[in-house]
Protein backbone atom coordinates (compact mmCIF):
# COMPACT_ATOMS: atom_id res chain seq x y z
CA UNK A 1 0.00 0.00 0.00
CA UNK A 2 1.18 3.48 -0.82
CA UNK A 3 1.08 5.75 2.23
CA UNK A 4 0.05 8.66 -0.02
CA UNK A 5 -2.85 6.78 -1.63
CA UNK A 6 -5.58 9.15 -0.35
CA UNK A 7 -3.63 12.25 -1.28
CA UNK A 8 -2.93 10.88 -4.77
CA UNK A 9 -6.61 10.09 -5.15
CA UNK A 10 -7.19 13.83 -4.85
CA UNK A 11 -7.24 14.63 -8.53
CA UNK A 12 -5.17 17.85 -8.68
CA UNK A 13 -2.25 16.05 -6.98
CA UNK A 14 -2.36 12.52 -8.40
CA UNK A 15 0.76 10.46 -9.04
CA UNK A 16 2.49 13.28 -10.89
CA UNK A 17 1.93 15.83 -8.12
CA UNK A 18 3.09 13.34 -5.52
CA UNK A 19 6.37 12.90 -7.41
CA UNK A 20 6.78 16.69 -7.61
CA UNK A 21 6.39 16.92 -3.83
CA UNK A 22 8.96 14.14 -3.37
CA UNK A 23 11.39 16.09 -5.57
CA UNK A 24 10.90 19.38 -3.66
CA UNK A 25 12.85 21.03 -0.84
CA UNK A 26 11.53 23.60 1.62
CA UNK A 27 13.02 25.72 4.36
CA UNK A 28 10.89 26.21 7.49
CA UNK A 29 12.14 29.03 9.68
CA UNK A 30 10.97 28.45 13.25
CA UNK A 31 9.78 25.09 14.59
CA UNK A 32 7.33 26.40 17.19
CA UNK A 33 3.60 26.83 16.76
CA UNK A 34 3.28 27.66 13.04
CA UNK A 35 6.47 25.85 12.06
CA UNK A 36 5.39 22.70 13.87
CA UNK A 37 2.04 22.43 12.10
CA UNK A 38 3.65 23.30 8.76
CA UNK A 39 6.39 20.69 9.19
CA UNK A 40 3.92 18.05 10.37
CA UNK A 41 1.63 18.54 7.36
CA UNK A 42 4.46 18.69 4.82
CA UNK A 43 6.27 15.66 6.23
CA UNK A 44 3.12 13.56 6.14
CA UNK A 45 2.35 14.83 2.64
CA UNK A 46 5.70 13.44 1.45
CA UNK A 47 7.65 16.64 0.87
CA UNK A 48 11.08 15.29 -0.15
CA UNK A 49 13.38 17.47 1.87
CA UNK A 50 12.55 19.65 4.87
CA UNK A 51 15.22 21.94 6.29
CA UNK A 52 14.18 23.25 9.68
CA UNK A 53 15.89 25.96 11.71
CA UNK A 54 15.01 27.07 15.25
CA UNK A 55 17.02 28.80 17.97
CA UNK A 56 14.91 27.82 20.99
CA UNK A 57 14.39 24.78 23.22
CA UNK A 58 11.11 23.18 24.34
CA UNK A 59 9.38 24.62 27.43
CA UNK A 60 6.19 23.62 29.24
CA UNK A 61 4.22 26.65 28.03
CA UNK A 62 4.84 25.56 24.40
CA UNK A 63 2.80 22.35 24.66
CA UNK A 64 -0.60 24.08 24.48
CA UNK A 65 -0.06 24.84 20.77
CA UNK A 66 3.23 23.39 19.53
CA UNK A 67 2.05 19.98 18.37
CA UNK A 68 5.40 18.31 17.68
CA UNK A 69 6.55 18.42 21.31
CA UNK A 70 5.71 16.46 24.46
CA UNK A 71 6.48 16.45 28.19
CA UNK A 72 9.69 14.44 27.72
CA UNK A 73 11.06 17.15 25.42
CA UNK A 74 10.30 19.69 28.17
CA UNK A 75 12.03 17.60 30.86
CA UNK A 76 15.15 17.27 28.74
CA UNK A 77 15.01 20.84 27.38
CA UNK A 78 15.47 19.45 23.86
CA UNK A 79 16.16 22.07 21.16
CA UNK A 80 12.97 22.52 19.14
CA UNK A 81 14.63 21.75 15.80
CA UNK A 82 15.90 18.38 17.12
CA UNK A 83 12.63 17.43 18.86
CA UNK A 84 10.75 18.35 15.69
CA UNK A 85 13.04 16.27 13.47
CA UNK A 86 12.57 13.23 15.74
CA UNK A 87 8.78 13.46 15.54
CA UNK A 88 8.74 14.11 11.81
CA UNK A 89 11.00 11.17 11.00
CA UNK A 90 8.89 8.93 13.24
CA UNK A 91 5.83 9.80 11.15
CA UNK A 92 7.65 9.56 7.81
CA UNK A 93 11.08 7.95 7.45
CA UNK A 94 11.00 8.21 3.63
CA UNK A 95 11.72 11.93 3.60
CA UNK A 96 14.84 13.86 4.56
CA UNK A 97 14.65 16.23 7.52
CA UNK A 98 17.59 18.48 8.29
CA UNK A 99 17.48 20.15 11.72
CA UNK A 100 19.56 23.23 12.45
CA UNK A 101 19.76 24.66 15.97
CA UNK A 102 20.53 28.33 15.32
CA UNK A 103 19.06 31.78 14.82
CA UNK A 104 18.30 32.55 11.15
CA UNK A 105 20.24 35.74 10.46
CA UNK A 106 21.86 37.57 7.57
CA UNK A 107 25.02 35.65 8.40
CA UNK A 108 23.60 32.21 7.59
CA UNK A 109 20.51 32.85 5.45
CA UNK A 110 22.41 32.48 2.15
CA UNK A 111 23.44 28.95 3.09
CA UNK A 112 19.99 28.13 4.41
CA UNK A 113 18.21 28.87 1.11
CA UNK A 114 20.58 26.79 -1.06
CA UNK A 115 18.53 24.32 -3.09
CA UNK A 116 15.25 25.48 -1.55
CA UNK A 117 12.00 25.74 -3.61
CA UNK A 118 9.78 27.54 -1.04
CA UNK A 119 10.53 29.29 2.28
CA UNK A 120 7.84 28.92 4.95
CA UNK A 121 7.57 31.39 7.79
CA UNK A 122 7.19 29.95 11.28
CA UNK A 123 8.87 32.88 13.03
CA UNK A 124 7.63 35.11 15.81
CA UNK A 125 9.07 38.46 14.79
CA UNK A 126 9.08 40.94 11.94
CA UNK A 127 12.82 41.52 11.70
CA UNK A 128 13.30 37.89 10.67
CA UNK A 129 10.25 38.09 8.37
CA UNK A 130 11.59 41.12 6.50
CA UNK A 131 14.91 39.33 6.12
CA UNK A 132 13.14 36.24 4.70
CA UNK A 133 11.12 38.46 2.37
CA UNK A 134 14.28 40.19 1.12
CA UNK A 135 16.33 37.03 0.60
CA UNK A 136 13.43 35.29 -1.16
CA UNK A 137 12.83 38.18 -3.56
CA UNK A 138 16.55 38.54 -4.20
CA UNK A 139 16.82 34.88 -5.22
CA UNK A 140 13.40 34.34 -6.82
CA UNK A 141 12.08 31.92 -4.18
CA UNK A 142 8.40 32.03 -3.11
CA UNK A 143 7.80 33.08 0.51
CA UNK A 144 4.87 31.59 2.41
CA UNK A 145 4.19 34.18 5.09
CA UNK A 146 2.21 33.57 8.27
CA UNK A 147 1.88 35.30 11.62
CA UNK A 148 -0.35 34.65 14.65
CA UNK A 149 -1.07 36.28 17.99
CA UNK A 150 -4.08 36.18 20.32
CA UNK A 151 -6.98 34.93 18.14
CA UNK A 152 -5.71 36.70 15.00
CA UNK A 153 -3.60 35.65 12.09
CA UNK A 154 -2.30 36.89 8.74
CA UNK A 155 -1.02 34.95 5.78
CA UNK A 156 -0.01 35.39 2.17
CA UNK A 157 1.98 33.55 -0.50
CA UNK A 158 4.45 35.93 -2.14
CA UNK A 159 6.07 35.03 -5.47
CA UNK A 160 8.94 37.16 -6.83
CA UNK A 161 8.15 38.81 -10.21
CA UNK A 162 4.49 37.78 -9.88
CA UNK A 163 3.06 39.30 -6.70
CA UNK A 164 3.88 42.25 -4.43
CA UNK A 165 6.06 41.36 -1.41
CA UNK A 166 5.61 41.56 2.36
CA UNK A 167 7.19 45.03 2.41
CA UNK A 168 4.55 46.26 -0.05
CA UNK A 169 1.80 45.09 2.30
CA UNK A 170 3.24 45.97 5.75
CA UNK A 171 5.63 48.79 6.69
CA UNK A 172 8.65 47.68 8.66
CA UNK A 173 8.35 48.78 12.29
CA UNK A 174 4.58 49.28 12.05
CA UNK A 175 3.83 46.24 14.22
CA UNK A 176 1.86 46.93 17.40
CA UNK A 177 4.35 45.01 19.53
CA UNK A 178 1.84 42.41 20.70
CA UNK A 179 3.36 38.94 21.09
CA UNK A 180 2.12 35.53 22.22
CA UNK A 181 4.04 36.08 25.46
CA UNK A 182 2.28 39.34 26.27
CA UNK A 183 -1.28 38.97 24.97
CA UNK A 184 -1.46 35.18 24.63
CA UNK A 185 -2.61 32.91 21.84
CA UNK A 186 -5.17 30.19 21.24
CA UNK A 187 -4.08 27.22 19.18
CA UNK A 188 -6.86 27.00 16.55
CA UNK A 189 -5.61 30.17 14.85
CA UNK A 190 -2.17 28.53 14.55
CA UNK A 191 -3.64 25.54 12.74
CA UNK A 192 -5.72 27.72 10.42
CA UNK A 193 -2.92 30.04 9.35
CA UNK A 194 -0.31 27.31 8.93
CA UNK A 195 -2.78 25.23 6.93
CA UNK A 196 -3.16 28.14 4.50
CA UNK A 197 0.63 28.42 4.28
CA UNK A 198 0.96 24.72 3.48
CA UNK A 199 -1.95 24.60 1.01
CA UNK A 200 -0.52 27.42 -1.10
CA UNK A 201 2.90 25.75 -1.00
CA UNK A 202 1.45 22.45 -2.24
CA UNK A 203 -0.48 24.24 -5.02
CA UNK A 204 2.72 25.96 -6.09
CA UNK A 205 4.97 22.90 -5.93
CA UNK A 206 2.50 20.77 -7.88
CA UNK A 207 2.17 23.46 -10.55
CA UNK A 208 -1.40 24.60 -9.83
CA UNK A 209 -0.61 28.28 -10.18
CA UNK A 210 -4.15 29.28 -11.21
CA UNK A 211 -5.46 27.98 -7.91
CA UNK A 212 -3.16 30.15 -5.79
CA UNK A 213 -5.23 32.43 -3.54
CA UNK A 214 -3.54 35.73 -4.52
CA UNK A 215 -4.66 37.62 -1.41
CA UNK A 216 -3.25 38.90 1.85
CA UNK A 217 -5.58 37.23 4.34
CA UNK A 218 -6.37 38.45 7.85
CA UNK A 219 -8.53 36.36 10.20
CA UNK A 220 -9.80 36.87 13.74
CA UNK A 221 -11.49 33.64 14.77
CA UNK A 222 -12.79 35.05 18.06
CA UNK A 223 -14.59 38.10 16.70
CA UNK A 224 -15.45 36.30 13.45
CA UNK A 225 -13.80 38.70 11.07
CA UNK A 226 -12.03 37.90 7.87
CA UNK A 227 -10.49 40.14 5.24
CA UNK A 228 -8.82 39.40 1.94
CA UNK A 229 -6.78 42.13 0.32
CA UNK A 230 -6.07 41.37 -3.31
CA UNK A 231 -2.38 41.09 -4.18
CA UNK A 232 -2.50 43.64 -6.96
CA UNK A 233 0.28 46.04 -7.93
CA UNK A 234 3.52 46.27 -5.94
CA UNK A 235 4.34 49.62 -4.35
CA UNK A 236 6.44 51.55 -6.86
CA UNK A 237 8.90 52.65 -4.20
CA UNK A 238 9.22 49.21 -2.56
CA UNK A 239 12.87 48.74 -1.54
CA UNK A 240 12.61 44.99 -1.93
CA UNK A 241 10.61 43.98 -4.99
CA UNK A 242 10.94 47.19 -7.05
CA UNK A 243 14.20 48.87 -6.14
CA UNK A 244 16.06 45.66 -5.29
CA UNK A 245 17.90 47.24 -2.36
CA UNK A 246 16.90 44.53 0.17
CA UNK A 247 17.49 46.62 3.30
CA UNK A 248 16.93 43.75 5.74
CA UNK A 249 19.96 41.93 4.33
CA UNK A 250 22.23 44.84 5.11
CA UNK A 251 21.71 44.87 8.88
CA UNK A 252 23.84 42.55 10.89
CA UNK A 253 22.85 40.93 14.13
CA UNK A 254 25.69 42.66 15.94
CA UNK A 255 24.51 46.13 14.97
CA UNK A 256 21.33 45.47 16.91
CA UNK A 257 22.70 43.45 19.80
CA UNK A 258 25.85 44.03 21.84
CA UNK A 259 27.18 41.99 24.76
CA UNK A 260 28.06 44.24 27.67
CA UNK A 261 31.10 42.37 28.88
CA UNK A 262 31.35 41.41 32.53
CA UNK A 263 27.81 42.59 33.24
CA UNK A 264 25.91 39.47 32.21
CA UNK A 265 23.91 41.71 29.90
CA UNK A 266 23.08 42.05 26.22
CA UNK A 267 21.93 45.40 24.86
CA UNK A 268 19.41 45.31 22.01
CA UNK A 269 18.69 48.48 20.09
CA UNK A 270 16.02 47.89 17.46
CA UNK A 271 13.52 50.66 18.10
CA UNK A 272 14.19 54.40 17.91
CA UNK A 273 11.99 55.20 20.92
CA UNK A 274 9.86 53.44 23.51
CA UNK A 275 7.06 54.98 25.52
CA UNK A 276 7.81 53.95 29.11
CA UNK A 277 4.24 54.51 30.35
CA UNK A 278 2.80 52.31 27.63
CA UNK A 279 5.41 49.58 28.10
CA UNK A 280 4.86 49.57 31.87
CA UNK A 281 1.16 48.85 31.31
CA UNK A 282 1.92 46.15 28.78
CA UNK A 283 4.56 44.28 30.79
CA UNK A 284 2.85 44.56 34.18
CA UNK A 285 0.71 41.48 33.55
CA UNK A 286 3.74 39.23 33.10
CA UNK A 287 6.57 40.84 35.09
CA UNK A 288 7.34 42.88 38.17
CA UNK A 289 7.74 46.38 36.71
CA UNK A 290 9.14 49.58 38.20
CA UNK A 291 9.47 52.90 36.41
CA UNK A 292 11.77 55.82 37.08
CA UNK A 293 11.74 59.03 35.01
CA UNK A 294 14.57 57.56 32.95
CA UNK A 295 13.95 53.88 32.63
CA UNK A 296 11.67 50.93 33.15
CA UNK A 297 12.83 47.79 34.91
CA UNK A 298 10.90 44.57 34.30
CA UNK A 299 11.79 41.49 36.35
CA UNK A 300 10.63 38.19 34.90
CA UNK A 301 10.45 35.05 37.00
CA UNK A 302 13.13 33.28 34.92
CA UNK A 303 15.92 35.36 36.47
CA UNK A 304 15.92 37.72 33.52
CA UNK A 305 15.49 41.47 33.88
CA UNK A 306 14.79 43.95 31.11
CA UNK A 307 15.86 47.55 31.50
CA UNK A 308 14.11 49.71 28.91
CA UNK A 309 15.19 53.22 27.99
CA UNK A 310 13.01 55.73 26.18
CA UNK A 311 15.56 55.96 23.32
CA UNK A 312 14.59 52.39 22.44
CA UNK A 313 17.50 50.54 24.04
CA UNK A 314 16.71 47.38 25.99
CA UNK A 315 19.20 45.75 28.33
CA UNK A 316 18.55 42.04 28.72
CA UNK A 317 20.16 41.22 32.07
CA UNK A 318 20.95 37.70 33.19
CA UNK A 319 22.61 36.42 30.02
CA UNK A 320 25.59 37.05 27.75
CA UNK A 321 24.14 34.87 25.02
CA UNK A 322 23.00 37.07 22.10
CA UNK A 323 20.68 34.41 20.66
CA UNK A 324 18.98 33.90 24.02
CA UNK A 325 18.68 37.67 24.53
CA UNK A 326 17.14 38.14 21.07
CA UNK A 327 14.74 35.27 21.75
CA UNK A 328 13.56 36.88 24.99
CA UNK A 329 13.34 40.29 23.34
CA UNK A 330 11.13 38.97 20.53
CA UNK A 331 9.00 37.25 23.14
CA UNK A 332 8.33 40.19 25.42
CA UNK A 333 8.89 43.24 23.23
CA UNK A 334 8.16 41.91 19.74
CA UNK A 335 8.66 43.95 16.61
What residue ranges bind Zn ion (CB under 5 A)?
165, 167-168, 234, 238, 240-241
C-alpha 283/C-alpha 44 separation (Å) is 39
How crowded is residue 151: how many other Cβ atoms within 10 Å of its Cβ?
Answer: 18
3-state secondary structure of 7: helix
Instruction: For helices 33-45 and 80-91, give the axis angle rounded to 10 degrees.
Output: 30
Q: Quick check: 286 and 321 in contact, CB under 8 A?
A: no
Q: Quick check: 123 and 132 in contact, CB under 8 A?
A: yes
C-alpha 228/C-alpha 335 separation (Å) is 23
C-alpha 187/C-alpha 180 separation (Å) is 11
Q: Classify residue 247 as exposed, middle or buried by CB count within 10 Å of its CB (0-12, 13-18, 19+).
A: middle
Residues 6+ apart with CB under 8 A from 279: 296, 308
Nearest CA to 67 out of 94, 45, 42, 37 is that of 37
- Give the gyration radius of the chain's Cα atoms: 20
Q: Please report, for residues 3, 16, 67, the alpha-carbon distance to residue 7 in angstroms, rounded to integers and kept in the order given.
A: 9, 11, 22
C-alpha 101/C-alpha 140 separation (Å) is 26
Nearest CA to 133 out of 172, 167, 106 is that of 167
End-to-end CA distance of the chain: 48
How crowded is residue 308: how many other Cβ atoms within 10 Å of its Cβ?
Answer: 24
Amino acid sequence: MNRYARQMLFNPIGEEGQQKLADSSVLIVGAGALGGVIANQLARAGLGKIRLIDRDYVELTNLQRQILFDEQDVEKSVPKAIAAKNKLQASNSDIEVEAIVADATVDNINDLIQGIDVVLDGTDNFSTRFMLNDICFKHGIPYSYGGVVSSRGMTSFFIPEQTPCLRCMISEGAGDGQTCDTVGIISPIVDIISSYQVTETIKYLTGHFKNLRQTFKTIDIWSNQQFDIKLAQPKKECLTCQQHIYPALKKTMNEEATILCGRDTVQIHKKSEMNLVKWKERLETIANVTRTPFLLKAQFDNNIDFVIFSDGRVLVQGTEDIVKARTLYDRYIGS
